[in-house]
Structure formats: structure tokens, C-alpha cells
């Protein structure tokens, strides 16, 4: 099961970066290079989760150092909060665009299914991860930094045309979803810790 999840997430990550290809090229040509890292939100979330699965696939790969454990906790925390956030965010943008007249094609339904999967798998696999509240908080700071760069430097993921006049509402929703994802991660950790003590 873990290997299947790893392969699906790895393939989805590659596809996601390809999906962002035009926007990455546009950002490369029209924005400072440091902003490139803030463009491909969903595939980067998928990348973090894919890396987290490697820790679960190879749990006894040598005696982990403190640095290794800290890096693992950071990647796992980023995997959970970013997967929850961008899984929900992408679905909301597709549905919001459709509600205002955007025509949905088969790719939209594929993206809805895959992004819902991102959010669900993150919640399901928290119980196997080792990160704690501080790592979740730091991962949320990254989300808020990403949001800030997205909507001040205008490198947010391209939206359906129908939502372009709702940019302020989209930005507010995006920032709110970062906090929601943090709360979701904390609740998941609380449930994980409670189950561990039982």
C-alpha cells in the first residue's frame, strides 16, 4: 500500500510541476528568480508527502541523528499542512470557478479527485509520523509566507477567468485556509497522541 501511494504521489508531483510549466516560465521571464519557489504550490505539497512516505517505507535505515530527525519532522509537518491546504484550495477554486460560469472538463474532475486525495491521505497518515506541534507551527509560517508572496508579488496559482475579479476574496480564503490547515494538523496530532496512550 505504501509503495503504491509513493508511486502515485511521485507521479502526481511530476505531473503537477509540468502543469505549472507555463506559469513557471512566465515567472522566470517577468519576476525575480527567488519567487519561482512560491509558484508550484500543490506539487510541492505532494513532494513533501512523497518524501514523508520514504521515511515510512524505510523506517530502520540506520540510526537517525538529531539533525536527521529534525529534517524528517519538518518535512512531515510540511507534508500535512500543505497537503491539507492545497488539496482543499484547488477544489474550492475549481468549484468556485464553475459556480461563476467556468466550463468543467475532464481534467477538472481529475484535479478535484487528486486534490481531495491529497488532503485525505495527509490526515490518514499523521498517525505514522513523528512531527510535533512546533514543526506544525513552523510549517504554517511557511504557508503564510507563501500566501504573502503569492498575493503581494502576484505569483499565486493562475485562477479561472471567472475568479479574477474576486482576487481579494480568494486571498482572504487562502490565508484563512492556512490557519485552518494548522488547526487540522493540531487536531490530528491530538488524536494521534491520544491513540498512542491508549
Q: Which three cell numbers stand for residue 122?
A: 495527509
**What's the domain range around 73?**
2-197
Q: Are 2 and 53 in contact (CB under 8 A)?
A: yes
Q: Backbone phi, then psi, for 61, in 5-degree steps?
A: -80, 75
Q: Which three cell numbers stand for residue 75?
A: 518535512
pLDDT given for residue 195 in this prediction: 67
pLDDT given for residue 107 in this prediction: 92
d(CA 39, CA 146): 9
Q: What does pTM read for this prediction?
A: 0.93
Q: What is the b/e burial string over 135-172, where b = at least 16 CB atoms within 10 angstroms of the residue's CB? A: bbeebbeebeebbebbbeeebbbebbeebeebeeebbe
Please state the domain count of the chain: 1
With a CB cutoff of 8 Å and minimum separation 6, the contacts of 20 are 39, 40, 43, 157
CA 22 to chain centre: 20
pLDDT given for residue 60 in this prediction: 73
d(CA 164, CA 102): 12
pLDDT given for residue 192 in this prediction: 81
Q: How far apart are the first and last CA of the chain?
A: 26
pLDDT given for residue 62 in this prediction: 62
With a CB cutoff of 8 Å and minimum separation 6, the contacts of 154 are none
Q: Which three cell numbers stand for residue 118?
A: 491529497
**Tens digit of pLDDT at every position of the chain (198 positions):** 899 999 999 999 999 999 999 999 999 999 999 999 999 999 999 999 999 999 999 887 667 788 989 999 999 999 999 999 999 999 999 999 999 999 999 999 999 999 999 999 999 999 999 999 999 999 999 999 999 999 999 999 999 999 999 999 999 999 999 999 999 999 999 888 776 665
Q: Which three cell numbers stand for residue 149?
A: 508572496
d(CA 27, CA 13): 19
d(CA 3, CA 130): 20
pLDDT given for residue 1 in this prediction: 87
Amino acid at each position: 500500500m505504501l509503495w503504491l501511494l509513493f508511486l502515485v504521489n511521485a507521479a502526481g508531483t511530476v505531473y503537477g510541476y509540468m502543469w505549472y510549466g507555463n506559469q513557471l516560465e512566465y515567472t522566470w521571464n517577468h519576476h525575480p528568480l527567488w519567487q519561482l519557489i512560491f509558484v508550484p504550490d500543490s506539487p510541492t505539497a505532494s513532494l513533501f508527502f512523497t518524501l514523508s512516505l520514504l521515511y515510512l517505507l524505510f523506517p530502520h535505515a540506520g540510526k537517525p541523528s538529531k539533525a536527521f530527525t529534525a529534517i524528517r519532522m519538518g518535512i512531515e509537518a510540511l507534508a500535512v499542512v500543505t497537503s491539507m491546504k492545497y488539496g482543499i484550495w484547488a477544489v474550492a477554486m475549481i468549484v468556485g470557478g464553475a459556480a461563476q460560469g467556468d466550463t468543467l472538463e475532464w481534467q477538472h474532475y481529475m484535479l478535484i479527485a487528486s486534490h481531495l486525495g491529497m488532503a485525505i491521505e495527509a490526515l490518514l497518515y499523521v498517525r505514522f509520523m513523528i512531527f510535533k506541534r512546533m514543526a506544525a507551527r513552523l510549517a504554517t509560517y511557511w504557508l503564510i509566507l507563501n500566501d504573502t508572496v503569492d498575493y503581494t508579488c502576484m505569483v499565486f496559482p493562475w485562477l479561472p477567468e471567472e475568479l479574477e475579479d474576486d482576487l481579494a476574496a480568494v486571498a482572504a480564503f487562502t490565508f484563512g485556509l492556512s490557519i485552518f490547515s494548522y488547526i487540522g494538523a493540531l487536531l490530528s496530532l491530538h488524536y494521534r497522541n491520544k491513540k498512542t496512550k491508549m
